[in-house]
Structure formats: structure tokens, C-alpha cells
Amino acid sequence: KAGVTQTPRYLIKTRGQQVTLSCSPISGHRSVSWYQQTPGQGLQFLFEYFSETQRNKGNFPGRFSGRQFSNSRSEMNVSTLELGDSALYLCASSKDINTGELFFGEGSRLTVL
């Protein structure tokens, strides 16, 4: 059974640019959530999608957005990148919402210069 796949794994951007990260959940999983991991702030919840609808959102500025497609694949976008956006972005999928039993991908490591 294939796990959660995130692309790209590594990327480097400069301030002011935008980035799109992709996540393919485990087959059959309908819920996708995103987390940001930094040394200073730790793991922080970004948002959660279920059946193409955003169900929860964390405390991040509007520059962070996401969406989910009908096949449950999800993308997140960060616009007008700042140095502080450098982080490991982790995507997780679960069968349903409200279970908390999340299966994580290996993450996309974003470096903003």
C-alpha cells in the first residue's frame, strides 16, 4: 500500500516568490491535513481538508492557502515568501475526519533565501 507522497521533497525559493506543494494521500483516505515544522515553533497545524472542503484552519496568515481535489490529492500554496517560511511542510492523510490517526509523508523542505 503506497504511503503519503509529497512533492517536491526539497526546494529553494527567494523572498517574494510563491510556492506550491503537492500531496497525494493514501488510497482511500479522504482527509488531508498540513503541518509546518520549524526548529523554533515546532509542529504547527496549517489546515485540513475533507471531501474538497476546508474543515479546519490554523493560525497562519492568508498567504498560506490550500485546496483539495476530487481525487483527494491536495496542494498548498504560500505566496510572497518570507525567510520565516523556511520549514519542513508535512502532509498527512487519514480515512476520515476526527480520527487523529494520521499517516504522514516525508515532507517538503522549503528554504527561502
Partner 1 sequence: AQKVTQAQTEISVVEKEDVTLDCVYETRDTTYYLFWYKQPPSGELVFLIRRNSFDEQNEISGRYSWNFQKSTSSFNFTITASQVVDSAVYFCAHTGTASKLTFGTGTRLQVTL
61 three-state secondary structure: coil
5 three-state secondary structure: strand
By CB under 8 A, the residues from 65 to 94 that bind partner 1 are: 88, 90, 92, 94
How far, in Å, CA of 58 to CA of 43, rounded? 11
Q: Which is nearer to partner 1, 8 or 16 (CB)?
A: 8
- Under 8 Å between Cβ of 33 and 49: yes
Write down the least CB distance from residue 1 to partner 1, Å: 14
85 three-state secondary structure: helix
By CB under 8 A, the residues from 17 to 46 that bind partner 1 are: 31, 33, 35, 42-45
Residue ranges in contact with partner 1 by CB under 8 A: 3-4, 31, 33, 35, 42-45, 48, 55-56, 58, 88, 90, 92, 94, 97-107, 109
